[in-house]
């Protein structure tokens, strides 16, 4: 699957194909609070990516209508980008 946005710098406004703008906006707010800081730590202090940052990634994809149910949450973006190869 090809994403229509950069997961590291997603747009604040939901993209045209977004099926749930509210979920997108909530994910964006959480995204702004959980950025890579120093020494591989999140701005919240946890190792990056923290659980909130992983939730952000799932939120953006769910807002686009992507099924985010997988065995291990950390594999979601990897799995989707590998599918397009």
Question: What confidence tens digit (pLDDT) does each residue in 6-48 have?
Answer: 888 999 999 999 999 999 999 999 999 999 998 999 999 999 9
Contacts of 76 (CB under 8 A, 6+ apart): 57, 58, 61, 68, 70
Please report which confidence band the pLDDT of residue 78 belongs to, taking 50, 70 and 90 as the band edges.
low
Longest pairwise C-alpha distance within the chain? 36
Query: How many angstroms separate the CA atoms of 59 and 56, rounded?
Result: 5
Higher pLDDT, 8 or 68: 8
Report the domain count for the chain.
1
Query: How many angstroms separate the CA atoms of 28 and 12, rounded?
Result: 6
What is the residue range of 44's domain? 15-68
User: Given this model, what pLDDT does residue 85 score?
Assistant: 47
User: Given this model, what pLDDT does residue 75 score?
Assistant: 56
């Amino acid at each position: 699957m090809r994403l229509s946005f950069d997961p590291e710098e997603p747009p604040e406004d939901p993209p045209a194909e977004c099926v749930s703008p509210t979920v997108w906006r909530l994910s964006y707010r959480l995204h702004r609070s959980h950025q890579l800081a120093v020494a591989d730590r999140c701005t919240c202090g946890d190792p990056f990516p923290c659980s909130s940052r992983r939730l952000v990634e799932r939120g953006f994809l769910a807002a686009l209508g992507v099924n985010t149910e997988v065995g291990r949450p950390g594999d979601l973006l990897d799995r989707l980008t590998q599918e397009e190869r």
